[in-house]
Amino acid sequence: MKKSIFVFICIFFIGTVSAQRVARPRGGSMGNWRVLGTTHARHTADHDAIVVQGPYDNFRKIKFTVRDAPLNIRKMIVTFDGGGVQNIEVRYEIPKNGESREIDLRGGTKSIRRIDFWYDTRGILNGTADVTVYGKK
């Protein structure tokens, strides 16, 4: 009995830890949106991160799309190459297959290393959402 409870607690804890995805953006020309990464928003977590690995191009705007289910994105933290961060209070209720507004990055173009975001899933019957983050040079 104790062993089964321990296994359940371990599985629950592992499920609630944030996920981290590593992304390698493709090259693109100035003014075009480029995919920085995609992650899957699970019902068992409220935080995900996309780690952007080279090429470390500079971006001046980001946006994100939500597929397969609605999602309430509360905030994002963008970490730049030099270690600086930008906290973005998003508070968007994104419908299924919707997208955010374009979000300007402070200080002009910046090299993005990581994007963390916190969200609420909207009921287990709606399924789980895929979140894709885009950057614009």
Domain 18-136 = CATH 2.60.120.1380: yes
Delimit the domains of the chain by residue range: 18-136
Question: Among 97, 49, 45, which residue's Cα sits nearest to residue 77?
Answer: 49
Least confident among 11-15, 16-20, 109-113: 11-15
pTM to 2 decimal places: 0.74
Q: Are 31 and 109 in contact (CB under 8 A)?
A: no
Does position 61 have pLDDT exceeding 90, yes or no?
Answer: yes
Q: Diameter of the chain by CA atoms? A: 60
pLDDT tens digits for 88-104? 988 888 888 999 999 99
